Amino acid sequence: MAWRSSATSNEVLVANLERNKLIESERVKQAMLQVDRAHYAPASPYEDSPQPIGHRATISAPHMHANACESLLTYLQPGAKVLDIGSGSGYLTAVLANLVGPSGSVVGIEHIQPLVDLSNTNMSKSEQGRRMLDSGQVKFVTGDGRKGWKEDAPYDAIHVGAAAAEHHIDLTDQLKAPGRLFVPVAEGYMQHIYVIDKKEDGSLERNKLYGVQYVPLTDAPE
């Protein structure tokens, strides 16, 4: 997934992702068109690359956000409940909210308070974002995402935006059956995306996808 492109607008960014088959479904395309990445990325927002957002965090590359949505798509139906762990800039949280619609909801959890504040500020830049925050369709909370977020569990889909060093049991416990977890997992020097399905009988099925580079899920800084 090393493809890179630069574009001059959100529409061109999304068109490039679609042309390169990094966006495959119309629903993901429409959701990404609804969220202007310039509201979330401080520099080169329409380039397909990660960007620093401060506090040693990055907004992930658009192709990773597209792929996360594509991987979780079956579970992102209108009305679904979603948890976005390591929500950082808030960009993906907003895209996920577009996918589940006004009857669904998304919680973004982040352990660095200034980034929680930043995600609220970023989303408030658009009328749609302000509406989603005011209605409670989206909320950002401060906490250790390795424990999930019990208050609103269970979730149809959980996205993890930082690499886990182990299987965090709280996350699969907080999935509905059926439900799906998308998580980068650190294995030695390598990281891979895993998609973990909780089936209707409660059993788990793990599928390893491709190699990635994410910042790790860590303890909160002092």
Q: Is 1 in the site for ligand SAH (CB under 6 A)?
A: no
Instruction: Please report whether residue 51 would count as binding ligand SAH according to CB under 6 A.
Output: no
The one segment of 4-12, 106-114, 181-189, 200-208 that binds ligand SAH by CB under 6 A: 106-114
Closest contact distance (angstroms) between CB of 144 and ligand SAH is: 5
Minimum distance from residue 49 beta carbon to ligand SAH (Å)? 12
- Rounded Cα gap, residues 39 and 92, in angstroms: 12
Residue 58 interacts with ligand SAH (CB under 6 A): yes or no? yes
Catalytic option among 60, 71, 89, 105 = 60
Q: What is the DSSP letter of 164?
A: B
Q: Write the DSSP symbol of residue 37.
A: G
Q: Which of 18, 24, 144, 170 binds ligand SAH (CB under 6 A)?
A: 144
How far apart CA 80 and CA 185 sit, in angstroms, is: 25
Yes or no: say if 82 and 159 are a contact pair by the CB < 8 Å rule: yes
The answer to whether the beta carbons of residues 212 and 206 sit under 8 Å apart is: no
Residue with tokens 């679904």: 80
Q: Which of 23, 31, 32, 59 binds ligand SAH (CB under 6 A)?
A: 59
Site for ligand SAH contains 17 (CB under 6 A) = no
The beta strands (E) that lie in 72-218 are given as 81-85, 105-110, 138-142, 155-160, 175-187, 190-198, 204-211
The verdict on 153 binding ligand SAH (CB under 6 A) reads: no
User: Does 45 interact with ligand SAH (rule: CB under 6 A)?
Assistant: no
Q: Given the rule CB under 6 A, which of 82-90, 130-138, 149-157, 201-209 is the region that contacts ligand SAH?
A: 82-90
Residue 145 within binding range of ligand SAH, rule CB under 6 A: yes
Positions of E strands within the chain: 51-54, 57-59, 81-85, 105-110, 138-142, 155-160, 175-187, 190-198, 204-211
The binder of ligand SAH chosen from 23, 28, 96, 109 (CB under 6 A):
109
Site for ligand SAH in 173-212 (CB under 6 A): none
Q: Which among 116, 166, 118, 175 is positioned nearest to 146, based on CA atoms?
A: 166
60 assigned to active site: yes
Q: Is 88 left (phi over 0), alpha (psi -120 to 50) or beta?
A: left
Catalytic residue positions? 60
Instruction: Give the interface with ligand SAH as residue ranges (CB under 6 A).
Output: 57-60, 85-89, 91-92, 109-112, 115, 144-146, 161-162, 215, 217-218
